[in-house]
Chain A
């Protein structure tokens, strides 16, 4: 197992459902990120964790709830989503959140469709 993995790869859910996205990194990194990628829009940073502590939250609605139990795992818990939340959700990791070790490595993403 290498790099950054995400499960599931595809998810369809209703607006009243509760689901979770999982990300796991096998790179020994200390920082992890959630991004939202919508069609024809720049990637949007949602959350940043460094050493399991949240260090950035870009005004994301509370229906998205992140969890970082350790430096290798990151979850995004979803509840009462809206159809406009349908997007590709990307997880990334980096050695740390300092500029000197700045390269982020991405997982393949979870394609989320909210009905």
Chain B
């Protein structure tokens, strides 16, 4: 079946550190992959997406590359800020339009 696995949090980093949040998936076919972010007290916001193998999604300094050979979609950012503190969700869209979600990774950035 379809599933998404994310690294457990919380992930705590200092400002300007390099960020990687791992995400791997199992799926039939070629799903679209997403990263959503949920800031405290707010709903989910699309951060970036990739729709086919080797695509790179990017937004607000975050990047993730759709790696079919490793079934991964790791989220990276070169220099994090305190304002990046949030919960990050990896998700895939199945062929019958269902979003399958990871459990979320809480990111805490300390000044």
Counting residue pairs across A and B whose Cβ atoms lie within 8 Å, the total is: 51
Scan residues 81-113 of chain A and give those whose CB is less than 8 A from a CB of chain B. 90, 92, 97-99, 102-109
B45 within 8 A of A: yes
* Among candidates A40, A99, A108, residue contacting B42 with C-beta atoms closer than 8 Å: A108
Chain B binding surface, main DSSP class: strand
Residue contact A99 to B44, C-beta cutoff 8 Å: no
Shortest Cβ distance from residue A8 to the other chain B in the assembled complex, whole angstroms: 14
**What residues on A are CB-neighbors of B4 within 8 Å?**
42
Taking Cβ atoms with an 8 Å cutoff, the residues of B that contact A are: 4, 32, 34, 36, 41-46, 49, 51, 89, 91, 93, 95-104
User: Smallest Cβ distance from B10 to chain A, in angstroms?
Assistant: 12
Tally of chain A residues near chain B (CB < 8 A)? 23
Please indicate the chain A residues that have their CB under 8 angstroms from the CB of B89 in the complex: 43
Query: Whole-angstrom distance between the alpha carbons of A78 and B46 in the complex?
Result: 28
Residues of A within 8 A of B49 (CB): 102-103
Cβ–Cβ contact B43 & A102, under 8 A? no
Binding site for B on A (CB under 8 A): 4, 6, 31, 40-43, 45, 48, 56, 90, 92, 97-99, 102-109
User: Chain A contacts of B101 at CB under 8 A?
Assistant: 42-43
Contacts of A56 in B (CB 8 A): 96-98
For residue B11, give the distance in angstroms from its CB to the closest CB of chain A: 15
Contact residues in B for A98 (Cβ distance below 8 Å): 97
A36 to B: closest C-beta gap in Å = 11
CB distance from A104 to the nearest CB of B (A): 6
In the complex, A104→B96 CA distance in Å? 14
Asked if B32 and A99 sit within 8 Å, CB to CB, the answer is yes
For residue B102, give the distance in angstroms from its CB to the closest CB of chain A: 6
Question: Could you jot down 10 A-B contacts, CB within 8 Å?
Answer: A42-B4, A43-B89, A48-B98, A92-B44, A99-B95, A102-B49, A103-B46, A104-B99, A106-B44, A109-B43
